[in-house]
Amino acid sequence: MRMSQDNQIYIPESFMALFVAPGRYKPTAAHAEICARYELCEDMANMLTETAQTMQFSLGVTEHDVLERCLRGLQAESTVVSMPESVWVVHRLAELLNWAALKADEAPQDGDDEA
């Protein structure tokens, strides 16, 4: 994890990786922007925990189905988070709930027609 000099938050390497192009070491965005995006995504994952648990209970669906629905919902509102950020949020949500995360091939990426 990296610690921000500005506001003392820790940014996980998994999130920093969203801003580093393959084969590069330097992020494609300013540190302050990455911190702001991380805080948004972390908050979103935390806010979704209760919604996800309620969805599983009320709909009687599997944890996997709940995570897929959350991912589709985040990707439908692509103005809030980017496609890679939506995948990160759902992985973080699974982690917070102690659920198995979606596999990489189950999470639509940029250019995929599924959502």
Identify the pLDDT of residue 106.
65
Residue 42 lies in a domain: yes
The whole model's pTM is what? 0.83
Residue 19 lies in a domain: yes
Distance (Å, rounded) from C-alpha 52 to C-alpha 72?
13
For residue 75, give both structure tokens.
């990707």
- Tally of structural domains, the chain: 1
Q: First CA to last CA across the chain, in angstroms?
A: 30
Instruction: Please state, as a whole number, how many other Cβ atoms lie within 10 Å of the Cβ of residue 48.
Output: 22
- The pLDDT tens digits for 77-104 are 777 899 999 999 999 999 999 999 998 7
**Number of H-type helices and E-type strands within the chain:** 4, 2
Identify the pLDDT of residue 103.
86
Split at pLDDT 50, 70, 90, the class of 4 is: very low
Residue 43 belongs to domain spanning: 2-106
